[in-house]
Structures are given as structure tokens and as C-alpha cells.
Structure 1
Amino acid sequence: MPESTSDDPFRLVVESAPNGIIVADRSGRIVMVNQSAEKMFGYDRSEFLELSIEDLVPENIRGKHAGHRETFHKSPEPRQMGAGRDLRAKRKDGSEFPVEIGLTPLQSGNDTKILSSIVDITERKQNEEQLRQYAAELEAGNLELRRQSDLLRNVHDAVILVNGDGIVCEWNAGATRVFEMDTAEAIGKSLQEICPHPHQHPFFDRFVPALEKQASIEAVIACDLRSGTKLFLRTHVSKMDTSEGVGYVICASDITELKRLEHEILNVSENEQRRIGQDLHDDLCSQLSGIACITKMLEDSLKPDRKTEAELIARVTEMLADAVQKARQIAKGLVPAALETHGFSGALQELAAHFREVFGVNCVAEIKTENALDGIEQNAAVQLFRIAQEACTNSAKHSDADLIKISAGVEDGWVTLCVSDDGKGMPEDFSSTGMGLLTMRRRAEIIGAEFEIDAFPGEGATVRCRLFVPDS
């Protein structure tokens, strides 16, 4: 993937990204960067193209990085930012800094390159350290009011203190910037007034119940401001005891621009998958079918006098027929054409039939309110379909299930998609950071949907995704 022209849509998306974007090939050689990466690392573009990705890694871990890169190429799947890793990068001047890195494989034929989306999180780490100190002093009961006010004013992200009823008690300058509301107006308002939701607010629906079982919770939520602006916020909520009772500290980072970039990259990836799938179906399958016809004719001509050779040619014909069938199945998975021809409900029915045919597992689809489902906006339908596809693949490959059930419907504005199986389930302490699970969770976040997994040993597993669509 050489540096593209200025009118290339992919180049325009990469160049406009606020994050540093670096694309490298399998050997680690850098083949594309954007202006943000140049500013972040101190190299100009021509210098970058002479480097490998290992040149941007601190020397003490550089030796291991090549092995990690090769392992990722063997099973390339998107890795979202902040996926359980503390990472550091190295600038041209030798200084090191903390980063979050999201990885997206870019497939073009047999060639796979890796797009790295890099964020310098130096300021965030400093803020987190300040917040940790703040929490420790609160717990010890030694925090002075002046220090509390100074800290809240200086933290760049939104930091909000609310009481048990979700009423704002403290509000910093970061919150004013994010929510477009000054301190005097925000104090005393409820979270529902500040960040309206058309249904139950996630603070009460998800965060408060979770904090009864754990010290803190982190999640991405969508938020519609009173101005009509839609925000995506990465929120960290912790419970604390105050002199007036139970309270909650909310730290929120505005990641709307990051979500827009993820959406653009996902669209580019989806279009590339469609192109490859169509090429497989229209070109490769046609050529293989043509070769199979020729070998069949050769087999018939050899039968009378050269039986042994005819039997060998017959085996080649059978292998070609199998290859055509497999190529068509791959193309069908890459291009969810049923979404356009039969709508979301029809696509789920076809997905169930595909898994019955390919994996030999009893896969059924139970669809309710088909008309409402087929009216879902196209991008949301594509992401929900991909979640169902990934969940079915996990069940078919890993659960030893006899039955996989896909269910979908709309009720009170909520679109609910469930994929369940009767397989071996998962251990109680299973990690939700596997690449397949992370990919599904990331797709749900992009469209502002809720995502959860219920799984226990020997009791099967259920993947559930809920999306609020008021017009459904």
C-alpha cells in the first residue's frame, strides 16, 4: 500500500484523523503515515518510510515486538484501543511516552497490512494519577476543600461528583467543555437533564447496579446533548462515601471523533470485504468452473483407452467442484447481500441456513416484528448482522453445540438480537478480551448499542445486543 493520492477516500480519512495513523506491512516496514503521526513522533514523512515499526518501540522491548507482530499477522483481527495493555512508544529524540494503540488489519488479496491508530495518553495518565491521589485522600478523610476544587478545575476530562440520586454536586471545567453547560447551571441538576436519554439512564440502569458488586466500572455510552449534538463518552465511575451519604465520581472522556474515525475505517473495511467477495464469486468461481468443465471433457475422452488417467482427472474435477463450493461460501460470508435483497430479518434467516449447510449444526432463526427489523438504518443493520455472524461462528467452532438459536425483534423502541447455544459454555472467570468478543463489543459500541454475554460451564452461552431505535 504505497502513499495514496490526495483524492483517495482512504487517504483522506487517514489524513484527517486526529490520532496518529501508521500502516506497516508484514515485515514491519512503514508504508503510510499521517500528519498527526509526524507531529507525535518528530519524524517527517520521508524519514518514516525508511523505518520499521520496531524503530518506534523502546529498546528494552524491541526484541519481543517482532515476535508479537508476527503472531498478530497469523490471526489478524481488529484490536480496540486500551485492550488491557500498558504501551510505550519512542520519539525521534529518544524520549518515551505512553500510548494507546488500536490495530486494524487491511486485507487486499493475499497481502495483509496493519493500520495502527495511536493516541498519546500522557495527559490522561497524569490525570489518572491525580484522580488516584484524590480518591486515596477522600478515603482517608483528609482532603481539603481547596485541594478538591483545584484538582477538579485542572483535570482536562469531565469530572463530576453526583449523589445517590444522580444529582450533580461538583462540576469541573472539563465537564463544562464536554457537556456545554457551566458550573452554576449544572449544580443541582440530574444526569438525565444534563445528558438526556429517551429511556432509562445508563447511570441507574447499568452503573449503580454494577457498583454494588465491584469498586468501579468503565464503559462507553452515547449521549444526546440538549443542543442536539450526539456524543460518545468513555466513562469511568466509582462509588465513594461522603459526609452526606453515598456518592459517585464520574470521569468522562469525549471520544466522539475517535468513534467517527472508527466508523469511517469500518466502512472502508466493509467495502473492501464486499469487493473481495464479489471478485471471488464473479471471477475465481467462474474460472474454476470453466477449468472443471475442461477436465470433465478430458476425463470423458480418456475413459475408453486410458482408464487410470481418466480416474485421476475425475478426482481433479471433484476437487475443483469442492473448491468452487468453498469459494462461494467464503464470498457469501464476505458480502451480506441478503441485507440489501431481503432486509435484516431475511439476512438472519439466510445466516442460519448457511450455518446448517456449512457446519452441519442445527441453527434456527426466530424473527419477530419483521417489518420493524427491516426498517433499521443500514449501518446499524450491518453491524448487528456481523455481531450475529461472529457469535454463530464462535458457537459452531468452539462450543460443541447441537443447537444455535438466532432471535431478533423490536419492542418499545428496543431492537434486541440474541444468539444462544446449548454447548459447553464458558468458565465462570472467562475473559471477555478475546479478539472475537472484543470485535463484537466494538461493533456494538460504534452504533451505541448495549452488549453482554451470559455464559456458565455446561450451560451454553448467550450473546445479547440491544439498540434503542425510537422510530422502530
Structure 2
Amino acid sequence: MKHLQQFEALFNHATIGIILCNKDAEIINFNAQAETQFGYKKEELVGKKIEVLLPQKYRGSHVQDRNRFYAHPENKVMGHGRDLHGQKKDGAEFPVEVSLSHYRDEDNIYAIAFVIDITVRKNNEIAVNRHREELQEITRQVTLLNSDLEQKVENRTKMLRETLAELEKSKKEVTEALEKEKELGDLKSGFVTMASHEFRTPLSTILSSAFLLSKYNGPDDEDKREKHINRIKDAVNDMKSILEDFLSLGKLEDGLVKAKTADFSAAEYREELQHTIEGMMQIAKQGQRIAFSHEGESDIRVDISLLKNIIINLCSNAIKFSPANGNIEVRSLNNGPMLTVSVKDNGIGISEEDQQHLFERFFRAKNAVNIQGTGLGLHIISKYAELLNASISLRSELGNGTEFTISIPQNEKDLTG
């Protein structure tokens, strides 16, 4: 008796629908979950054929299917690649997953159907397809953006060639020609800097998130998909911001870029910088690791875009001037009056002599002349720091790495004024 009660409790309180049919495909038992799924009470279905729970268009063919099952019963999952649907009492159809089992009692055979409502799963599949379409559209926009950039570079290169040709023909205007050449050289350096520092990281973020997005296609991966779609959108927006605000170094030096400070909680700030560090890992050398930490739970007031650009530039340099398998540390501390952010590497280091000129435009340290670079990165960092009213300190020794520290006051009023 006790075992019977336990079985009835298991049957009635199961979280999937359970339907019991006799050899004539008549329903003889129907648990509470099945009542919820189909909208019928058990008493309404006992004695009726199982086909009453199927959409009208499938009932005819199902009679043959269940006759074959009773002739050769075996446990199986129904569907095999095709969608199955049930029909509620009110006529509404819904997608289901059905597993069949059976048992014998003397000369009688009984079929047990285990029914799962997969409406949520199907909706998730629709969401996945929608996100995939959004990703394709983002990819198309990035492709168009790259094409536009290539065209601009080609046009600028053509302009450089034409200008140089004119300079050769205008030897009488030597002073003017040399000045023009310098301006064009600055412009070219600006493009190189933009490509090597600003554009590489958001493009890497887009590519890595697009790759990871294709792997998160399960019903429980909605948050992960949304996260990477947002990272792609953020990266595209960052590139758009770069095009608008940092097309050339001249905008910074002419005062056309302003700091736009905002308040961030410690969690928001930590997440923003963590995404930036994760993006930098896409360009890291083999075995290189970038560790990020933040201390302090007070709110932070900063132009997060300018700060991320500083970190991107410093991390890019740390990656470039450090060996494979090396460690790079990004540490942040908010002690109330001051927010400090440091980037430390174990790379080639900088001599004391070169440290005196490090933030000058086009300056390259003597031990870095054979490493690709324009000599503009640290100069740009100094301009960003000025906009943040921040100071920059440096500790470095040849062969023993470098550590840059940015100190940003937190008790200052809005810097945009």
C-alpha cells in the first residue's frame, strides 16, 4: 500500500506530462502536469483515443504509427528530426518532445507517453536566429566601415604622392614645400597611429565576440549571447567615436576634444576596464597574460572613454615591448581623493636618458628603434592625461620592465567646463 502511494505521488507530482494508454490507444490515466499542458481535466480524457491530443492534420497518420508501436513496442524518443506538436483543449497548438515506453500486465500491453512542453526552447531558437541576423548586419556594417577607411587611406596616399610631385617641381618655394611635407607626414603618422593603437583593439573585440557568439547557441546561453552582441556594438561605437574625435592628432593638440566625465559605481567601472583588458588579450603574444585588479568600492568620476584609450595604448606598448610568456599587470586603486591606474610589464625597459624625452612627439627610445611604432603613442597618452587633469609617473630600468601610473583626482569638479 505504501509503495502504491509513493507511485501515485510520483505520477501526480512529476514535472513532465505522463499519459497512460491501453492496447486500444485509449487514455486510462493522465497526470496533473499533463492537465496543465493540455488544458484538460483527467476525467474529460479517460476512455478517449490518444489522437484527441494531436492537431487534426496529424491524427490520421498517427493511428498507423501507434498501431505499429503496439505491434512491436520499444522505448524510444519520437520525432527524429521533425517537429512534434500537441493540441490544447482550446485548439491551440504547442511544440512538444515525446518519449514512449511500455509495460505488460498479464496479456495486456500499456503505452506510457512522457511529454515535455518545449515552447521555451523553440522561442530560444528563434532568439538565436534573430541574434545571428543582428550579427550578420553588424558584420556588414563593419565591412562597409573598413571599405570606407581603405578608400580614405587610398585617397590620402594619392594626395601625398601628388603633393610630393608638386614639391619637386616647386623648388623656389622650398620653405613652404618643407612645411607642407611635414604636415602631410604628421597626417600619415596619425593614420598609422590610429590603425595600430585605436582600431586594432575594437576590431579584435568584434572578431573574438563574433567567434564566441557562434558557439553560444544553447537555450541557457542567452546572457552570454547578449553580452557578446553588446561587446560588438560597443566596439563599433568605439570605432565610430574614434573616427569622429581622433581622425588626427591635430584635434587633440587644437583642443577640439573635451573630457566628458561621468559617475560610475565600482562594479560598473570594474566591468568597463575588464572588457578593455579582455580585448587586449586578442593582440597579446603567445603565453602573455594580462592580470587586472581594482581596489576601492567608492564611486568613480572619470571620462571612461579617455581612460580606456590610455589603458589600450599602455597595454599595447607593454605587449609590444615584452617577451612572449610574460606577465602584464593592470592595477587600479580608488582611495577617495585619487584614482590611480598602473600598467606594469617585464619588458625591455627604458633608459634614464630616454625617459626625459619619452612623451615628445615622434620620439623613439634607442632600444626600440627596431620595433614597429610611430613614436606618437605616449605623446597621445600625455594629451589624454591633460584632458583628465591627471599626472603620469614612470618607473623603468633597462632590461627590467616598465611601470606607468596615471593619477586622476576624484575631488575635482566636472572637467568639461
With the length of structure 2 as denominator, give the TM-score of the two structures.
0.34
* Larger radius of gyration between Structure 1 and Structure 2: 2
- Normalized per residue, which structure has more strand? 1
| Higher RCO, 1 vs 2 (CA within 8 Å, ≥6 residues apart) | 2
